[in-house]
Amino acid sequence: MDKWKDNKAWFLVLPVFILVAFSAIIPLMTVVNYSLQDIFGPGQRVFVGIEWFEEVLADTRLHEALWRQLAFSGLVLLIEMPLGILIALIMPKKGWAAAASLVTIALPLLIPWNVIGTIWIIFTRPDIGLFGAAINGMGIPFDHTASPIQAWITVMLMEVWHWTPLVALLAYAGLRAIPEAYFQAAKIDGASAWAIFRYIQLPKMRGVLTIALLLRFMDSFLIYAEPFVLTGGGPGNTTTFLSIYLVKVAVGQFDLGPAAAFSLVYFLIILLFSWLFYQVLQNVGRGEKS
């Protein structure tokens, strides 16, 4: 009886499980159902087994979109992680300046994703955009709607501007959680700024940086609204990432079966890479502690 009373706390978690079931598990099961059928219309469907998975995995356009997605996520992480840590290190630690810098840094995170794309369309327009007109004014031809390289640079700049604040805020929280005694001991030992960062700040930030890396990888791998609004996946297919290609298959072509199979493969890819990132970071942490 006492054991039953102690387990009553689980009833507090029950609403969360119910919410997750309706918002994630049931839609996921629906997608799994669609991925195994050829749907012609309401009530008209034929079971096809793994046919759509075989078709999706053999699709060269999917392979190209995957490589573009991996390259984009990798480059974004290589920029955002060091930049976010650097911003956190130079941010004020106390007083009104710290509060003001936190609010200022967080502003891009408050803007809706589709609005971000619209802002950057205007910002990079070669005729009236502040950035686009300035670049063209310096004699450098710039039009991200016509140049694949410039489209990539523009999308990456937009992503870095939008999400680096998240890394900076997480790193800042990790830095503020380090006890002052560590810095006092390092000062007494005459440690340099680099030594303090290498042996005190970076190891103590490992937890928040792991969270930042996983969040940013998953977000960048799922990116859709910003590049879709800014470039529409073009010019050509140069910025057609996995999410944009999935929407083209599901909505543009209305191939629900292949789209469902594609979305499940997409989901498994994200899980696999997130797990690999987590395992690598955990092993690195254990190696340094030993």
Q: Give yes or no for residue 77 having a pLDDT over 60.
A: yes
- pLDDT confidence of 174, banded at 50, 70, 90? very high
Return the higher-pLDDT residue of 18 and 84. Answer: 84
In tens, the pLDDT along 248-273 reads 888 877 778 888 898 998 888 888 88
First to last CA, the chain: 46
- Burial 155-167, CB ≥16 within 10 A → b, else e: bbbbbbebbbbbb
- pLDDT confidence of 15, banded at 50, 70, 90? confident
Q: Give yes or no for residue 9 having a pLDDT over 70.
A: no
Measure the CA–CA gap between 240 and 74, rounded to whole angstroms: 16
Q: Give yes or no for residue 233 having a pLDDT over 60.
A: yes
In tens, the pLDDT along 178-226 reads 998 998 998 888 888 899 998 999 988 888 898 898 889 888 988 898 8
Mean pLDDT of 53-82: 91
Nearest to 64 by CA among 248, 225, 219: 248
Tell me the helices (H) and strands (E) count for the chain, helix number first.
16, 2
- Check whether the bond before 235 is cis (ω within 30° of 0): yes
Q: Give yes or no for residue 155 having a pLDDT over 90.
A: yes
Spell out the domain ranges in the chain.
59-289
Return the higher-pLDDT residue of 8 and 122. Answer: 122
Architecture of domain 59-289: Orthogonal Bundle (1.10)
In tens, the pLDDT along 100-119 reads 999 999 999 999 888 999 99
pTM as predicted: 0.83
- Which pLDDT does position 8 carry in this prediction? 66
Q: Give yes or no for residue 167 having a pLDDT over 90.
A: yes
Residue 231 has φ and ψ, to the nearest 5°, of -120, -15
Range with top average pLDDT, 1-15, 72-86, 121-135: 72-86
